[in-house]
Structure 1
Amino acid sequence: MVEVYTSDTRKWTSMPSGWGEWIRVFGGEGYVFLNDTLHFIAYDSEEDTFDSDGVTTRSIVTIDTSGNTWRKIPQPPKVDFTFIGQSLGCLYGMQIDHGNGCLLSVWALENYASGQWTLKHTASILELLERPCLEHGEHYTLVAIHPEQNLIFLSGGVESEQTLMSYDMDTQKLHSICTLGDYGMVNLQPYVPCFAERPSDAQ
């Protein structure tokens, strides 16, 4: 079941999931609202959705604001998105492969109708940091993608020295913004202001 809240009626509505009973949505990787549609990272727990390595294949599942259109968009083969976002009107999926030099890969769903993903950019975070290898406890997490620029925000480092950084895909430069201190292990979320008008009878 899926619970949908409508601001016009100010009520929650329960409806059967159009994705199928085996779909499990990941809550920690965020969501994207694009073209009047919500997008989530999810996986299908049915046995026939495991790849040749025995790894559960993931999808992007969507539902429009009317609750009438449900869809599953497969991720690219051998790719495991840990973050999705939208920039310049396009849906992006990204991952950081910590077992491969912290390789950042950025994919764009340029053909939304067919579900065809295009690899737009790759970069090694370790090479950008001019480091030969990861230290013990070192990890990096994707935080956001700029809605109007080719700019990615990420956090990471060793546990005691977490840093918020930005990466410009055009210049291929990594910039340190600030240290996170006690907030290093917090699940960071970008602030996106909403300028929608409230209903005229709102209290």
Structure 2
Amino acid sequence: MPAAKDESSGQGVASQQNGALGRGIGVEQGSNHSCGLARLGFDLIVSSHFHVFEYGINDDDSLAVNIYSSKTEACIFKESEWGKGIVLSTYGKGVFVNGFMHMLEFTQIVVVDIEGKTWMKILKPTGDAISIHEAQDYGTSKWTLKHKVTTLELFGKKNIEIGIEVCDVAYRVIAVHPEWNLIFLVGEDKSLLAYDMNRSKIHVLLARAIGYPRST
């Protein structure tokens, strides 16, 4: 299972759908129903151990999570403290940083620690362009804008949908390289692009549709 990770910190997160990862290591289902969403978090600088976060839905539509630790070889079940109305997509992005799993929801980022004791909700920045924000005060909704580029600057066109979900967008952001300042995108035609924030230039890495000039 490939992991998207920050090479400078050794932190990463891997995705596993349909509960296969959970079944493979014996994650308990608890009293909730698995929604086929699991994330693997690890930090190689801190420890060689890892944690698996498997999210589930209770009968009242609230969320709960099974957290497995490879160190203790045990799983704990925790009811969500995010409140009701939280919807996590199977394709939702997850990032494991400083012992917390961060999951991207529609309007916010929901966070839980490896012990299921600390739960946070952080409002996402909004806008009509690709923008890179840095959390000014961790655990709050204060962000500092680091970079922003509009679709007109990228593609010479307005009203082009860019997002992180699989459906209903023309281009999907799949990864960010923090050291090289690159944003990787996939188009509806399966073309692979990279936007260089330092040079404000987009590169076509893999062209699947007629009409794309291949960057060198």
TM-score by length of 2: 0.56
Alpha carbons 1:26, 1:40 under 8 Å: kept: no
1:153 is matched with which residue? 184
1:62 is matched with which residue? 111
| Structure 1 residue matching 2:91: 3-state secondary structure | coil
Q: 1:132 Cα shift?
A: 6.6
1:176 is matched with which residue? 204
Amino acid in the other structure paired with 1:149: W
Segments of 5+ residues of structure 1 without an aligned counterpart are 44-57, 80-94, 98-102, 182-203
**Counterpart among 32, 35, 38 of residue 98 in structure 2:** 35
* CA displacement, residues 26-69 of structure 1 (integer Å, 9 cap, x when unaligned): 332311111111101225xxxxxxxxxxxxxx111101112211
Identity %: 36
Alignment pair present for 1:26 and 2:89: yes
Aligned length: 139
Alignment pair present for 1:162 and 2:162: no
TM-score by length of 1: 0.59
Higher mean alpha-carbon deviation, 123-132 vs 12-21, is at 123-132
Q: 1:178 Cα shift?
A: 0.9
Q: 1:14 Cα shift?
A: 1.3
Q: 1:180 to 1:17 in 2, by over 3 A?
A: farther
Amino acid in the other structure paired with 1:154: L
Amino acid in the other structure paired with 2:108: S
Amino acid in the other structure paired with 1:119: L
| Structure 2 residue matching 1:128: 3-state secondary structure | helix
Q: 1:138 Cα shift?
A: 7.6
Structure 1 segment 96-107 matched on structure 2, within 5 A:
97=128, 103-107=129-133
Provide the rounded CA distance (Å) in 1 between the counterparts of 2:82 and 2:139. Answer: 17
Root mean square deviation, CA, Å: 2.5
Q: 1:166 to 1:24 in 2, by over 3 A?
A: same
Q: 1:13 Cα shift?
A: 2.0
Alpha carbons 2:67, 2:115 under 8 Å: kept: no
| Structure 1 residue matching 2:136: 3-state secondary structure | strand
1:194 is matched with which residue? none
Q: 1:16 Cα shift?
A: 1.1
Provide the rounded CA distance (Å) in 2 between the counterparts of 1:138 and 1:40. Answer: 20
